Amino acid sequence: MENNFIDTVIGENIITDSINSTSNSLKSSVSSTETTCNKSIINNEENYNDDQKKEILEIINLSDDDEISSDTIKTEFEIEDINKNQIKKIDKNIAFLIFILGMGNILPFQTFLASLDYLDNIFPQYKMASTFPCIYMVVICVTFIVLLRFQNKFKSHIILSIGFPCYIVLMILTPIVTIVSHTPITTYLVILLLMALCSFVDGLSQGTIYAYASKFGPRYSTIAVTGNGVAGVFVVLTRLICKLSFSSDNNSKKIGLIVYFIISAIIILIAITTFFYSLKIERIRKILITNNNNNNNKNQIENDNQVNNINGKEKHPFKEVFKKTYGFGFMVFYNFVIVLFLFPGIVVRIESLHGIKSDWWVFIIIAVYNTSDCIGKTLFSIFNYIILPLKLVWVVLIGKSIFVLLFFLCIYNDNFNHEQMVIIFLIIFGVLSGGVVSYGVSEGPKRVEEKYKPSCSVFLSLALNIGLMSGSSLNLLVSFFM
């Protein structure tokens, strides 16, 4: 009995000493961490790479040889918060690159669009306002889908390096054709061919630009969309200057058209020059060209698939993206179905009741829509930090369908056929369209993991192109019955 008691006491003492020793050790460890807290957290290679360590040290203005006190960083969570705040900052060089590429990529389409005041007059029998968007969008969609199938065989920077110079050549050839060719049908077919070639290049480069933007962050996707909007305003201004600078006779109009297309070619040249210059900046080149990140993502995705295969469920990256962002894909798709169905094919059929010349009236319609669309995209880019309820965006999107009725009333009902009313409808329609597409393109990638962001941008671009093709094809079909 006594021995048992002694054993019990000794055992309790051992346990007590062990607990006290462990407690003191923990306290000592915590105290040491709180008072010294050197760079061991940051130097943990399992959590942070060299670039992230460097960014964190730069944020707190410390060199590699400095110590980090507990007052600066105490836990890994604070390190992650600082890293996230750093990511939120917009790099002006990268922002300009994405902006000018987004502007340059859409500029050929916008240039053709803003020249409809001239083309529609010389080819009135061919319904250029309906045939041009349809040809352009069908080719761009088919090209984009084919590119998806063989995406591993093409390098993104090579696509842009070849595609943008092709844009420049096509921009110069298009107005020359209107002077050299004297047969209307021949001129019309050659111009359509040049438009189709532009759309082919567009289909190759569009996905690349949005994939680049998604790698830098969601806010850069809205910057790319803003570049698209600014391109529409730019061509309107240059077209206005050319129309005012040259007289109304045919030869002067043709010269003005050449100047107008050359100006667009110069902007595209600036865009590709900016891209080449950016490749010399190591931190940008690392993201745009090197495939290290892509390979890491690919390996990570393959590991995920192996785990899923063990569980009997195989997941493909595109399926994962679709599952999380199909709503945003449909949002972008439906938005452009409505837009391309009504604009420009239906809207340009609205006649002016107060004697505005047809070429100027078409120009005014295009100018009002392009400007409004740019405002919508820019406003969302500026106020990107405001979180809009998803239900509100869906209400706005579905509500846009009413413009189908309103614009048809403007064509067939004299009570609605007033220039002021048409312009008001176009302003609202354009602002809503620009805002919705910016929302879809920027919010979609936020719903997926980092490794899936490029795939998400490709998916949204595919939805966008299918929407453009569907809307323009529907417009061409309806135009034959009007």
> Alpha-carbon distance 247 to 65, whole Å?
71
Written as six digits, the tokens of 393 are: 């965006």
Short-list 325, 322, 324, 343, CA closest to 433: 343
Q: Give residue-wise pLDDT tens across range 222-238.
A: 889 899 999 999 999 99
More confident residue, 426 or 450: 426
Which spans in 115-217 are helix H?
A: 116-122, 128-149, 156-180, 184-216
Q: pLDDT value at position 267?
A: 95
Q: What are phi and psi of 474, to 5 degrees?
A: -65, -40
User: What is the pLDDT, as a whole number, of residue 166?
Assistant: 95
Average pLDDT of the segment spanning 413-429: 91
> In the predicted model, is pLDDT for residue 69 greater than 60?
no
Q: What is the pLDDT of residue 343?
A: 94
Q: Which residues contact 333 (CB under 8 A, 6 or more apart)?
A: 463, 464, 466, 467, 470
**What pLDDT shows up at residue 289?**
73
pLDDT of 374 higher than 80? yes
Assess contact for 192 and 131: CB atoms under 8 A.
yes
pLDDT averaged over every residue in the chain: 78
pTM listed for this prediction: 0.74
Cα–Cα distance for residue pair 338/87, rounded to 1 Å:
35
**167-213 per-position pLDDT tens digit:** 999 999 999 988 886 788 888 999 999 999 999 999 888 878 887 88
Query: Which residue would you say has higher pLDDT here, 38 or 186?
Result: 186
Q: What pLDDT score was predicted for residue 38?
A: 43
Name which residue leads in pLDDT, 174 or 86.
174
Q: What is the mean pLDDT of residues 98-109?
A: 94
CA-to-CA dists, residue 180 to 168, 174, 460, angstroms: 19, 10, 41
Share of the chain above pLDDT 90, in %: 40
Portion of the chain with pLDDT greater than 70, in percent: 74
Structural domains of the chain ordered from first start = 93-290+317-479 (1.20.1250.20)
| Helices within 36-91 (DSSP H only) | 50-59, 76-88
| Range 438-465 average pLDDT | 85
Top-confidence range, 63-72, 245-254, 463-472:
463-472
Mean pLDDT of the region 367-383: 89
CA-based torsion, 23, 24, 30, 31: positive or negative: positive
